[in-house]
Amino acid sequence: MRQITRSVLANYEKVKLTTVKSTPPSKSEKSKKRKLAKGKQRAGEIIIEEPVIEYVEVESVDDREANKASSKGTTTAHFIKFMYELLDIIDIDESLKGSYLVIDNCTIHKSHPLIRKIEGRRYRVIYLPPYSSELNAIENFWAIVKRKMKRENPMTEETLFQRIADACNNVRVSDLRGFCSHLKRHITYCRDKIHF
């Protein structure tokens, strides 16, 4: 029996595409912030119920903590919020129920409460092997965005955010189709144990 595979990128006709808008962080915000309990634990207790990105003000810190740069990357809370929004979109298509969600092995993607929530909505989770960019279509997307950014002249901080948004919005639909074709080809290589 042949398994039917689908990709969110391949179903772009069914989803209303929106433009990316980005705004730089306010320079007037001088308060120090830190993530709640390293993201994972608090994600299970608080954020899973309402997908909100939550930070706590740091009122008193020791000298070592004060000298550290504040964490600025994507957190478990960001990923949970993204997954809730994604699940709401793919829930619209009943034929996708029971599908697999293929996720890379990043630590923030392994929140046990989130995985239980995904499985509770009748989806299954599969993790990619460590560093498998050929099997991750978003890697191709970011490669194109980075190329578009490198072609431009040096930029100021004010224009950086707008240029990133423009680069994302200018990725062509044919590129998205190409990502999916590339991904399908490499998954076939893996299945057939062909080195690529």
Distance CA 180, CA 183 (A): 5
CB atoms within 10 A of CB 177: 13
Greater pLDDT, 9 or 152:
152
pLDDT band at 27 (very low <50, low <70, confident <90, very high): low
At residue 154, the pLDDT reads: 65
Residue range 161-185, pLDDT digits in tens: 888 888 899 999 999 899 889 888 8
Answer positive or negative: Cα dihedral of 36, 42, 48, 49. negative
Instruction: Give per-residue pLDDT as tens, 115-160.
Output: 999 999 999 998 887 777 778 888 889 999 988 888 777 677 778 8
- Indicate the domain borders of the chain: 133-196
Please give the Cα distance from 23 to 69 (Å, whole number). Answer: 21
What global pTM score does this model have? 0.41
